[in-house]
Amino acid sequence: MALLVSLTDTDIAPWLKVFQTELSGMDIRIYPDVGDPCDIEYVAAWQHPFSEYKKYPNLKAILSLGAGVDHITKDPELPSGIPIVRMADNALTRDMCLYALHWVLHFHSDYYRYAQQQSNKQWLPQDFVSPRDRTIGVMGLGNIGKQIAESLATQGFNVVGWGASEKQTTGLIEYFHGKEQMNAFLNKAEILINVLPLTDATRNRVTESELRQLPQGSFVINMGRGCIVNESDLLSLLNSGHIAAAVLDVFDIEPLPDDNPLWSHPSVTITPHIAGQSDGETAAMFMVDNIRRIEHGEAPFPLYDPVLGY
């Protein structure tokens, strides 16, 4: 019985330490040293190459390094019926909350302006705006989105949220749902944060017509998936000034190609898909717990739902 570790762009040392200590009865193999493919029962995966999964006839589950599993499900030859387990490590969620907070403050507290002012040696305090007078819109209300929304609300921001299905509005956050309520949500979002998962339903969900619903001079933080917010529509609204600035961590094509105009746009900040970097130790332990659950005949958590697409 073997666990195949295939974590592209990741320092696998802390992962291996946990797997080797905690899964003593299991052979830990590192891709591309697969050995006999019949031995592979589990894959710890981030961007595992397409057409590989179908070579492992005894695969019991795929454990995703990421909360999003589109890097697995978009494999056109993915064998059907193999459980895919998403990452829901608390450390990942916490880091995404911190990433969101950092960039919300960047815009809310005018730090992006002060960076420009410094290059002109300009001493010019901007007007104070209270967090309660700033509305943040969080799009995508799964575990991560809800926690981002709640953490910003706890800091005093006015937070609205949008998700595909209805959520109980809490004292802190006003929730919107479905196609019919999307514009009402966007109209309020001075800073829009996207954390939707990429599914057939969310692909290209935010195009020019949705972006136009944002208030004039609003900001966009995309830390979900690239193909959800239409890149060229975003660029044209940045160029027109309707959107004042954007921070993008995810893109249609990653790594972002050299000739993509987003790289050099003065109102765009790019981070290389790091908003939710997994903490190797805790995330590996999250996978170990799920492997143990499966070995004991219990259901792993959280399981990808092919009908919902996440």
The answer to the question of residue 67 lying near ligand GLV (CB under 6 A) is yes
* Of 47 and 117, CB closest to ligand GLV: 47
The closest residue (CB) to ligand GLV is 66
* Of 106 and 273, CB closest to ligand GLV: 273
Q: Per CB under 6 A, which region of 63-71, 107-115, 232-240, 295-303 contacts ligand GLV?
A: 63-71
The answer to the question of residue 66 lying near ligand GLV (CB under 6 A) is yes
* Of 163 and 276, CB closest to ligand GLV: 276
* Of 44 and 238, CB closest to ligand GLV: 44
The answer to the question of residue 131 lying near ligand GLV (CB under 6 A) is no
**Between 77 and 96, how does the x/- string for binding to ligand GLV read (CB under 6 A)?**
----------x---------
Exactly one of 23, 29, 42, 68 binds ligand GLV (CB under 6 A); that residue is: 68
CB of 253 to ligand GLV, least distance (A): 15
DSSP state at residue 218: E
CB of 271 to ligand GLV, least distance (A): 12
DSSP state at residue 114: H
* Of 7 and 67, CB closest to ligand GLV: 67
Joined together, the tokens standing for residue 132 give: 């309660």
Window 247-306: residues binding ligand GLV (CB under 6 A): 276
Cα distances from 274 to residues 7, 27, 49, 188, 286, in angstroms, run 14, 30, 20, 27, 19
* Of 185 and 251, CB closest to ligand GLV: 251
| Neighbour-count burial for 258-286, b at 16+ CB within 10 Å, e otherwise | eebebeebebbebeebebbbbbbeebbbb
203 is catalytic: no
CB of 233 to ligand GLV, least distance (A): 22
Rounded Cα–Cα distance for residues 85 and 286 (Å): 10
CB of 297 to ligand GLV, least distance (A): 28
212 is catalytic: no
The H-or-E segment that residue 240 falls in is: helix 231-240
CB of 127 to ligand GLV, least distance (A): 36
| Neighbour-count burial for 44-68, b at 16+ CB within 10 Å, e otherwise | bbbebeeebbeebeebbbbbbbbbb
Decide: 46 and 65 in contact? Cβ < 8 Å: yes
CB of 206 to ligand GLV, least distance (A): 17
The H-or-E segment that residue 247 falls in is: strand 243-248
Q: Per CB under 6 A, which region of 19-27, 64-72, 167-175, 201-209 contacts ligand GLV?
A: 64-72
User: Active-site residues: which are they?
Assistant: 225, 273
The contact set with ligand GLV (CB under 6 A) reads 66-68, 87, 276
